[in-house]
């Protein structure tokens, strides 16, 4: 009898090589980053942090109001806020005080500005309470952070927000020490649409090779929120080591009556610009200190009615696309003919292209893919599609707030 011969197995699928110049890049920190911390934020692909800054949760009715607007995380809470209400509502909290129900600990806000980059003694005072550093004309921001770190519960994820010190004023070494030394999630708040001084040569003008005052057209645009994310990410070492979140203002956060008030389209564009540039979370500044609406709860109060539908729609789309946003970037796969910022994501055998115009004038933009694609690209949230031919499609962008998100089936043809 002939010896038994096993049936031949099916041939393994042949891997498709990535086209030249195309690379796959993981999201900062990796998809499971938040799961490293006890009682932390979800590491589920369905969770993308959409936070609200310094809210109060005093009654059981507060959380449903914020949740209805698409908020899923509280970054800082007022004294007396009840974290149990947040947990019962299925949301998450990162306060600056300890709670067994919290998912993180807020170390500080803008210590790079009010204490500065230095290691002299900290008096324990915060701005407005007296001399901050000793000697009085010295800088003690590193000391502030080092002093506060032990206040966080052991193993808990620590979050810090920085400001113009890190983004504009400090050396790379100084900014890098703030960004890398004290926390596991970091952000910076530059309010490009509403800050009355951010266009100055010592602030926003620092983005230019030769600093000068920015024109309104250069300064008041959504793509600068992406620049802020890029700026903070540039200091992270090793590169991509920790998540960087973005701040976007709601309303009129400055007292000057002449300062601008942000609009719904500007909010939407600022959020998506931040995500295009790698933000792993969004935190909304929910306070208006000037303008026609004075409020500490813009998304709850009547004076936020003009922007609430837009903010809610943006947050709903983020929630729907969370698995996509938590998926790898595909760099180098798309080229464009116009002035747009583009990020490409790969998820479930499809490519997702997020594009934000960077110019005020209307333009027609052609997006060309090195791989993947079919006969059309679906424009998500707009109930339309655009025709594709030879991996390219063309679409209109009305102004610098124009954002389109495209789904192109057949991304597995890229070998991803």
Verify that 333 and 410 share a domain, yes or no.
Answer: yes
355 and 293 both lie in a single domain: no
Of 135, 144, 96, nearest to 116 (Cα)?
Answer: 144
290 within some domain: yes
Instruction: Give per-residue pLDDT as tens, 146-166.
Output: 999 999 999 999 999 999 999
Among 297, 325, 353, the domain-final residue is 325
**Do 63 and 103 lie in a common domain?**
yes
Largest CA distance in the chain: 97
Q: State the pLDDT at residue 410.
A: 75
User: What would the pLDDT profile of 12-46 be if each residue is shown by its tens digit?
Assistant: 444 568 889 999 999 999 999 999 999 999 999 99
Residues 190 and 92 in one domain: yes
How confident is the model at residue 16, as a pLDDT? 67
Determine, yes or no, domain membership for 317.
yes
**Measured between alpha carbons, how far is 241 from 180 in angstroms, rounded to an integer?**
9
* Domain enclosing residue 282, as ranges: 33-325
Token pair for 87 = 């947990």
Same domain, 123 and 211: yes
User: 221 and 92 share a domain?
Assistant: yes
Reported as a pLDDT band with limits 50, 70 and 90, residue 6 is: very low
Cβ atoms within 10 Å of 238's Cβ, excluding its own: 7
Over residues 62-80, the pLDDT tens digits come to 999 999 999 999 999 999 9
Binned at pLDDT 50, 70 and 90, residue 411 comes out as low
Residue 231: closest CA among 183, 178, 283: 178
What's the pLDDT score for residue 15? 57
Based on the fold, state whether residues 99 and 82 are members of the same structural domain. Answer: yes
How many other C-beta atoms are found inside a 10 Å radius of the C-beta of residue 237? 11
Question: Helix H segments across 46-110?
Answer: 62-68, 83-88
- CATH number for the domain including 376? 2.60.40.1180
Q: What are the CA-CA distances from residue 122 to residues 96, 138, 244 (Å)?
A: 18, 10, 27
Same domain (yes/no): 273, 339: no
| Inter-helix orientation angle 172-181/141-148, to 10° | 10
279, 48 contact by CB (below 8 A) = no
Q: Are 202 and 196 in contact (CB under 8 A)?
A: no
Which one has a higher pLDDT value, 408 or 15? Answer: 408
User: pLDDT for 306-334, tens place per residue?
Assistant: 999 999 999 999 999 999 999 999 999 99
Q: Is the dihedral of CA 28, 30, 31, 35 positive or negative?
A: negative
The Cα–Cα gap between 105 and 110 comes to 15
* Beta pairing, strands 92-94 & 73-77: parallel
H-only helix segments in 55-119? 62-68, 83-88, 111-114
Give me the pLDDT at residue 205, please.
98
Residue 329 β-bridge partners: 25, 345
Last residue of a domain, one of 325, 358, 379: 325
Residue 367, burial from CB neighbour count under 10 angstroms (0-12, 13-18, 19+)? buried
pLDDT over 70, % of the chain:
95
Same domain membership, residue 343 and residue 237: no
pLDDT tens-digit map of 361-403: 999 999 999 987 788 999 999 999 999 999 999 999 999 999 9
Provide the pLDDT for residue 5.
43
Total domains in the chain come to 2
Residue 1 has pLDDT above 70, yes or no: no
Q: Angle at Cα 311 formed by Cα 307 and Cα 316, nearest 5°?
A: 150
Interval 186-211 mean pLDDT: 98
pLDDT by residue (tens digit) across 221-252? 999 999 999 999 999 999 999 999 999 999 99
Asked whether residue 13 is assigned to any structural domain, the reply reads: no
Q: Are residues 382 and 305 in the same domain?
A: no
Q: Are residues 306 and 390 in the same domain?
A: no
CATH of the domain at 140: 3.20.20.80
The answer, yes or no, to whether residue 117 has pLDDT greater than 60, is yes
Query: Does residue 21 sit within a domain?
Result: no
Residues 266 and 344 in one domain: no
Tokens encoding 377: 């690209």
Question: What local confidence, expressed as pLDDT, does residue 213 receive?
Answer: 98
Which of 267, 299, 325 corresponds to the end of one domain?
Answer: 325
Query: How far is Cα 400 from Cα 407, in angstroms, rounded to an integer?
Result: 21
Q: For 270, how many CA atoms within 13 A lie in the half-sphere containing its CB?
A: 30
Q: Is residue 16 part of a domain?
A: no
Domain annotation covers residue 236: yes
**Domain membership flag for residue 12:** no
pLDDT at 416: 75
Task: Output the average pLDDT for the chain.
Answer: 94
User: What is the predicted pLDDT for the residue at 284?
Assistant: 98
Q: Which two tokens mark 255?
A: 């007292």
What is the pLDDT confidence band of residue 7, given thresholds at 50, 70 and 90? very low
**Domain-embedded: residue 39:** yes
Distance in Å from the first CA to the final CA of the chain: 47
């Amino acid at each position: 009898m002939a010896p038994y011969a096993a049936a031949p197995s099916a041939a393994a699928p042949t891997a498709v090589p990535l086209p030249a110049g195309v690379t796959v890049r993981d999201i900062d920190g990796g998809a499971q980053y938040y799961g490293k911390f006890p009682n932390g934020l979800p590491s589920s692909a369905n969770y993308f942090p959409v936070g609200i800054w310094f809210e109060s949760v005093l009654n059981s009715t507060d959380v449903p109001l914020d949740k209805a607007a698409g908020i899923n995380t509280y970054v800082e809470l007022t004294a007396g806020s009840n974290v149990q209400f947040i947990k019962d509502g299925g949301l998450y909290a990162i306060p600056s005080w300890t709670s067994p129900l919290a998912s993180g600990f807020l170390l500080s806000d803008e210590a790079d500005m009010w204490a500065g980059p230095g290691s002299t003694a900290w008096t324990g005072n915060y701005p407005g309470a007296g001399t901050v550093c000793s000697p009085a004309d010295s800088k003690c921001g590193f000391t502030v952070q080092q002093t506060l770190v032990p206040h966080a519960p052991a193993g808990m994820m620590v979050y810090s927000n920085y400001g113009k010190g890190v983004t504009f004023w400090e050396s790379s070494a100084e900014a890098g020490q703030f960004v890398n030394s004290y926390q596991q999630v970091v952000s910076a708040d530059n309010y490009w649409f509403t800050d009355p001084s951010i266009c100055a040569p010592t602030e926003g003008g620092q983005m230019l090779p030769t600093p000068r005052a920015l024109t309104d057209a250069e300064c008041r645009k959504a793509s600068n929120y992406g620049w802020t994310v890029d700026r903070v990410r540039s200091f992270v070492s090793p590169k991509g080591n920790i998540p960087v979140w973005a701040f976007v203002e709601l309303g009129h956060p400055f007292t000057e009556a002449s300062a601008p008030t942000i609009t719904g389209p500007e909010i939407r564009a600022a959020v998506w610009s931040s995500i295009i540039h790698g933000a792993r979370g969004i935190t909304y500044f929910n306070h208006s200190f000037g303008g026609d609406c004075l409020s500490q709860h813009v998304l709850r109060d009547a004076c936020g009615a003009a922007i609430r539908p837009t903010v809610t729609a943006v947050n709903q789309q983020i929630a729907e696309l969370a698995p996509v946003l938590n998926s790898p970037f595909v760099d180098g796969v798309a080229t464009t003919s116009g002035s747009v910022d583009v990020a490409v994501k790969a998820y479930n055998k499809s490519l997702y292209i997020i594009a934000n115009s960077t110019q005020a004038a209307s333009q027609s933009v052609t997006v060309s893919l090195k791989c993947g694609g079919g006969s059309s690209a679906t424009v998500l949230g707009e109930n339309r599609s655009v025709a594709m031919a030879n991996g390219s499609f063309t679409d209109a962008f009305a102004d610098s707030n124009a954002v389109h998100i495209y789904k192109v089936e057949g991304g597995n043809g890229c070998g991803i």
